[in-house]
Amino acid sequence: MQDIKQAQKAHVLVVPYPGQGHINPMLQFAKRLASKGIKPTLTPTVYMVKSMQLFDIPTQTGPPIQIRPISDGFDDGGKNQAGSTSTYLDSLNIHGPKTLAQLIKQLAEDGDPVKAVIYDGFLPWALDVGKKFGLIGVCFFTQSCTVNSVYYHVQRGLIQLPLSGQDTVSIPGAPKLQQSDLPSFVEKYGSYPFWFRVVIEQFSNIDQADWVLCNIFYDMENEVVDWMSTMWKIRTIGPTTPSHYLDKRLKDDKDYNLQLFKPNTELTKKWLDTKPTNSVIYISFGSAAILSEQQFKELSQGLKNSKRSFLWVVRESEHSKLPKGFLEETSNQGLVVSWASQLEILAHKATCCFVTHCGFNSILEALSLGVVVVGYPQYTDQGTNAKFVEDVWGVGIRAKVDEEGVVRREEVEEFIREVMEGKKRDEMMKNVSKWKKLAKEAMEEGGSSCKNIDEFVTYLGGC
């Protein structure tokens, strides 16, 4: 405890990529640091601060989490103002380093100097800025170690693209990956040139990082972590699910406290409370995934035909894709809302399974709260996550797509039957219970992730 107390004066900047799925895990890690005496300052972009729902951020007895934004060059409208992803990323790479450096200087002048920069792997320039000021540099991976290992192998020329003639790809510590199991930026090389650049450049300067932190717990990918440990000082510090659902060591930490959309918590809870245990299919594709109108039609019809109760989160921007009459025809069967508190839904006794795009935060939440998963991957790392859900962790299944890449209504009905009453349900539930227990143990005092966080805190206090 003495070493942790020595760290009370350590001030760190936490620099997330400007997206909810990246901000939330880094904010949760900042809460953990604050509870142990570290002083964290979160640096989202100006526009993200303006547009997100900001709630009180509990830190137990530690220092409060400051929010000091930096600029992406589009302070009034973010990506929408930029007009294109490539324009936005180019601007972020220019204005981000400049305003981060200004913030570090200003904090020093204010008598509140920074000791370390904990940066999202998507923002390698933050490490360069930190090193110019002589700061400790800490890379934080918000995606799985396997996904990042694939990107590393591509960046170092160990996987050649395009993947012509290759049925599978092998990387140390991971199962053999079919092309459809790979991150879409690798599988469909050339289709996302700007994002491909982002994920590959994570490794352009990582050898200069003092620490590499991963948002998993060790048992999830132990062999991949062991291999990565031969190159970097890597530690697993996850899952960064709010403490209420794991170890309960952070008082009142029940949510992420930053949301792009306001959840309709009262309506969803009231509706779920009327449903029997393990009876509701929960469907959500996160804050960014965009489904085709055809996919909406097939999913809607499959849900309707299943006769099962469902709770479907459909963002307002996607509402027009719902088939005409669907809401009226299923009013006694399901509930469609524009946004919801996913954690509360997954924790509710009525929830039976989670149909998800397999964003990594959603997968970690499902593992932490013990819910069977139906993988419905769209792009980026989601195909790899779906592979692990079905074949490695055994906590769910992956929906089958046809030659057009669409999950048809018959498949929707089939996977609903499979996860709710199929032959494999008992085995999936057994695995779900196992991983829920392991996630909780990792974050409890003495658990692997907790030990790694304490080691990092001690380092900040003593170096």
pLDDT in tens, 134-188: 999 999 999 999 999 999 999 999 999 999 877 899 999 999 999 999 999 999 9
Query: Which residues are paired to 310 by β-bridges?
Result: 281, 334
CA distance 126 to 223: 29
Q: Is residue 20 part of a domain?
A: yes
Same domain, 281 and 225: no
Q: Catalytic site residue 11? A: no
User: In terms of DSSP H, where are the helices of 321-396?
Assistant: 326-329, 342-347, 360-369, 382-387
Same domain, 267 and 191: no
Same domain, 16 and 101: yes
Q: Is residue 162 part of a domain?
A: yes
Same domain, 327 and 281: yes
Same domain, 233 and 328: no
CATH number at 422 reads: 3.40.50.2000
**Terminus-to-terminus CA distance in the chain, angstroms?**
16
Same domain, 18 and 160: yes
Q: Look up residue 289 and give its two tokens.
A: 């995934």
Contact predicate 41/14, CB 8 Å? yes
pLDDT of residue 3: 43
Q: Is residue 254 part of a domain?
A: no
CA distance 245 to 254: 7
Lowest average pLDDT, out of 242-256, 269-283, 332-346, goes to 242-256
Number of domains in the chain: 2
Q: Is residue 256 part of a domain?
A: no
Q: What is the pTM of this model?
A: 0.94
Q: Catalytic site residue 120? A: yes
Q: Look up residue 346 and give its two tokens.
A: 């997954």
Same domain, 142 and 290: no
- Statement: residue 373 has pLDDT above 80: yes
CA distance 412 to 394: 19
Same domain, 241 and 276: no
Q: Which of 22, 95, 153, 348 is catalytic?
A: 22
Mean of the per-residue pLDDT values for the chain?
A: 93
Contact predicate 128/205, CB 8 Å? yes
Q: Please report, rounded to a whole number, the percentage of residues in the chain having pLDDT higher than 70.
A: 95
Same domain, 232 and 371: no
Q: Is residue 257 part of a domain?
A: no
pLDDT of residue 7: 46
pLDDT digit string, tens, across residues 261-276: 778 889 999 999 999 9
Same domain, 49 and 194: yes
Q: Look up residue 270 and give its two tokens.
A: 């009231």
Q: Look up residue 62 and give its two tokens.
A: 């530690």
pLDDT digit string, tens, across residues 277-333: 999 999 999 888 889 999 999 999 999 999 999 999 999 999 999 999 999 999 999
Q: How far is CA 451 from the centre of its chain?
A: 22
Contact predicate 75/48, CB 8 Å? no
User: Which of residues 19 and 62 earns the better pLDDT score?
Assistant: 19
Same domain, 238 and 315: no
Q: Is residue 100 part of a domain?
A: yes
Q: Which of 11, 95, 120, 210 is catalytic?
A: 120
Please list, residue by residue across 138-177, b when 16 or more beta carbons sit within 10 angstroms of its beta carbon and e when fewer do.
bbbbbbbbbbbbbbbbbbeeebeeebeeeeebebeebeeb
Range of the domain at 20: 2-249+444-462
pLDDT of residue 439: 98
